[in-house]
Amino acid sequence: MKFYIVIPAHNEADFIGKTLQSLINQSLCPAKIVVVDDNSTDDTAAIVTNLSKQHPWISLVSNTSSEAHLPGEKIINAFYKGYDSLDSEYDVICKFDADVIFPENYLETLAKHYQKNSHLGMVAGHCYIEQNGIWVLEDLTSKDHIRGGLKAYRKACFSDIGGLKKSMGWDTIDELLALYYNWEFETDASLHVKHLKPTGANYNKSAKHLQGTALYKMRYGFTLAFLSALKLAYKKRRIHLFWDYIAGYIKAANQKEPFLIDADQGAFVRGYRWKNIKRKFKLLR
């Protein structure tokens, strides 16, 4: 299978070389990698340029964007800057982060999953972070969710879901829309991806409100958004974030922010979420 990879990068000089080297060393070599240098002020571009001289299938695209920290919107804008530079002759399009190290069999294993199941629209491994010299499973990792830094879409699935939404929460919306269009997604726990920089380390209070805004835009409704915000804050071990998320939801509702999905898709999302909540509640009883 032919893999195209887009990597948005902002001041990732400490990590981007390691990420690219792990992709260069793959047992199944990617057909193309595009790194989007998004307003970096460090040596990110120079590192990518040097590697591209040795590996012509790696390219660099420069992007000029706002200095504002806008989780979701900014990174997807950068992704599309790279995506638009590619042709459409791929089987799988990937949006990877610039601070991860992939095991050598990563792409080969993804390809095997896709070839085994024609209904599989998305598949990825699990993220591990280093703690006291030991690589441990990152708290936010779940078998029911593919992390935003590890997205890999079968071409037809990417088309059906309409690509990626330019909003925080895009990495949940894509999975829900994949299910809506009868695609499956899964994670492979045997694929250990080293995540070099903790998720959300640079988020500020304003940015964290955007999580609640995303819950509103996904048509969750207040009760479901309340439960989702509580769960996410608990998983991050920072319960005060719950209030940030709820504040963001209420603000979006009061301002009647435009939804990211239509009414039928919203009904599907709510039904799917409630079904999972009821299933998990029964298991706890």
Interval 116-131: pLDDT, tens: 999 999 999 999 999 9
Joined tokens for residue 63: 């992007």
CA angle 55, 56, 57 (to 5 degrees): 90
Q: Which residue has the higher pLDDT, 99 or 279?
A: 99
pLDDT given at position 87: 97
35 - beta bridge partners?
7, 60
Per-residue pLDDT at 35 exceeds 90? yes
Per-residue pLDDT at 22 exceeds 60? yes
Q: What is the mean pLDDT of the chain?
A: 91
Per-residue pLDDT at 200 exceeds 70? no
Q: What percent of the chain has pLDDT over 70?
A: 93
pLDDT given at position 241: 87
Tell me if 156 sits within 8 A of 60, measured CB to CB. Answer: no
pLDDT given at position 107: 98
> Across residues 226-237, what is the average pLDDT?
86
State the Cα–Cα distance between residues 167 and 150, nearest whole angstrom: 17
Domain boundaries, the chain: 3-195, 205-284
pTM of the model: 0.90
The pLDDT confidence band at residue 5, using thresholds 50, 70 and 90, is very high
Per-residue pLDDT at 26 exceeds 70? yes
Ranking 47-51, 231-235, 248-252 by mean pLDDT, the lowest is 231-235
The pLDDT confidence band at residue 209, using thresholds 50, 70 and 90, is confident
Per-residue pLDDT at 268 exceeds 60? yes
What dotted CATH number matches 3-195? Answer: 3.90.550.10
Give the DSSP per-residue string, 92-123. EEEEE-SSEE--TTHHHHHHHHHHH-TTEEEE
Interval 43-96: pLDDT, tens: 999 999 999 999 999 999 998 865 555 567 889 999 999 999 999 999 999 999
Interval 125-179: pLDDT, tens: 999 999 999 999 998 777 789 999 999 999 999 999 999 999 888 999 999 999 9
Phi, psi of 169 (to 5 degrees): 95, 0
pLDDT given at position 144: 85
